Each structure stands twice: as structure tokens, then as C-alpha cells.
Amino acid sequence: MIHGAFCGGWVFDHWRVLFEERGYFVHAPDLRFHGAGKRPPLALGTTSVLDYAADLEADFDAFDVPPILIGHSMGGLLAQMLAARRPVAALVLLAPSAPWGVLPSTPFEIASAQALYLAGDFWARTLKPQAWIALANALDMLPDGEREDVFSRFVPESGRATFEIMHWPLDLARATQIDARRVTAPILCLTGGRDRVNPPGTVRRVAQRYRGRVVYRELPSHSHWLIGEPGWEVIAQETLAWLDGIGAEETANT
């Protein structure tokens, strides 16, 4: 289970419980420099999504079988990158960030990307989480009190990784480029109908890259925090049911 920007593996704590009760072994690591309670080094500012992906790929060597990857937001992008590099059993993309070449679908996405320039050379800096942004756009469906509690666990993020995701046309290295043909696993792609961070129009374009092997669903009453906002249990249970269906299909075909 791969978390998104400004977060840690803790975002999947509730999901871990449900999946472990069903017999799954769950690995939900913190991305590089995302450990709670630690002041990140300056190196975080220039850490690439390629660095995050390389760290996660190294974990594959400890698995006896191809893993199921579940990624939220930036973690959904990393899951796609990993699936293009290594065999995986299935992909679950929860409000995933888009890879290189997928255009934004809303003015809000474009304005958010341009606003980053107010921080100067943000691509070489560590970015601190901003409460007014997170509370209004990522955690907006959480109840009062819980919203602030979740935000209090947020950590700084890499400016370079943010640049690579939100300003991909300017990234000459094409860090987030993915050859969709190399992603052969079955995919469940879920998006919140009220999500402004990674809105349905953009996530739909992500799903369309994987025609023939993706189940795409828009959840009208949800926003960006699919992993923890009210109704997350239903999303997690439906994910488990989809995985059960994938397993049944594989058994029938052997």
C-alpha cells in the first residue's frame, strides 16, 4: 500500500486491519524521508519520484509472489510506474496522480500548478504542508476535528517530485513517463466525484490508457481522501471483493 504526497504509511492503518483480517500480508512503507517525527534532510527537496519508485522496487525482492499494489494519489502514480517495471498481481489506483502526458482536465489543476511558482524555485526545495490547502481540498469530507487530527500527521514533501508530477511538460527527464503497454495486470481505478486534486476527468484519462484491463468507477459522494473519509470502509470492502473476483478468474483459467 503506497501513500501519497505529504503523508506516510499510516494513512492505510484502517485498510491494513481489514486486509490482514482477510489473510493478506500488508506492507505499507513510508516513502524516503517521510518518517513521522523526523525533520527531513535538505535532500528531500531534490528527491525524485524515480527515487521513491526505486526504493519501492527494492522491496519486491522480499516477496515470494508478485504483489498487489494499492496506491493513493501520488502513490497511485508510483504503483503504475512499478507495474511497468515488475510483474504485479493487480493494481488498485485510488484517486491516482496522472503520469507524464496526461493533460489536466480542470482550471483548478492548472491554477494549482502555477501557484507553486509563488514559492520561487520550488523544484529544489522541501515543501511544507499547508493547512488551508489540505483542509479545503484533500481532507474536505472529513468531520471537523478529525480533519485537523489527520492534517497534524502530514509531513514535508519533495519539491522536485511535485514538479515532476504537476509540471511534467517541463520535465526533460520525463520522470513520470509510463509505457502503458508494459502494465499488464488487472486494474481497479477509483475516483471521487468531488475530488479537485485529481478530478474525475483527469483520472478517467489515466484509466483510458489501460483499456481492456481496467475497471473504472467514479464515486459521486467522495472527494480525494478515499482512504479515510466517511464511507472508506465500503471502498475497502469493494476493493477486497474485486480482488476476490480477480482470484476467481485466475483459478477458473488454470
Tell me the C-alpha distance between 171 and 163, whole Å: 8
Model pLDDT, residue 225: 98
User: What mean pLDDT do residues 166-195 have?
Assistant: 98
pLDDT band at residue 46 using 50, 70 and 90 as cut-offs? very high
Which tens digit of pLDDT belongs to each residue from 4-20? Answer: 999 999 999 999 999 99
- Which class is 9-252 in CATH? alpha beta
Model pLDDT, residue 249: 60
Tell me the C-alpha distance between 94 and 72, whole Å: 5
| β 68-72/90-94 pair status | parallel
User: What mean pLDDT do residues 71-81 have?
Assistant: 98
Model pLDDT, residue 70: 98
Model pLDDT, residue 193: 98
pLDDT band at residue 36 using 50, 70 and 90 as cut-offs? confident
pLDDT band at residue 252 using 50, 70 and 90 as cut-offs? very low
- Would you say residue 229 has pLDDT above 70? yes
Cβ neighbours for 144, distance < 8 A, ≥ 6 positions apart: none
Which tens digit of pLDDT belongs to each residue from 154-164? Answer: 999 999 999 99
Model pLDDT, residue 178: 98
Mean pLDDT taken over the chain: 95
Model pLDDT, residue 39: 85
pLDDT band at residue 54 using 50, 70 and 90 as cut-offs? very high
Q: How far is CA 172 from CA 22, 32, 176, 213, in A?
A: 44, 23, 11, 30
pLDDT band at residue 59 using 50, 70 and 90 as cut-offs? very high
pLDDT band at residue 139 using 50, 70 and 90 as cut-offs? very high
Percent of the chain with pLDDT over 70: 97
Percent of the chain with pLDDT over 90: 93
Cβ neighbours for 168, distance < 8 A, ≥ 6 positions apart: 99, 100, 101, 174, 175, 176
Q: What is the 3-state secondary structure (H, E, C) of the chain?
A: CECCCCCCHHHHHHHHHHHHHCCCCCCCCCCCCCCCCCCCCHHHHHCCHHHHHHHHHHHHHHCCCCCEEEEECHHHHHHHHHHCCCCCCEEEEECCCCCCCCCCCCHHHHHHHHHHHHHCCHHHCEECCCHHHHHHHHCCCCCCCHHHHHHCCCCCEEHHHHHHHHCHHHCCCCCCCCCHHHCCCCEEEEEECCCCCCCHHHHHHHHHCCCCCEEEEEECCCCCCCCCCCCHHHHHHHHHHHHHHHHHHHHHCC
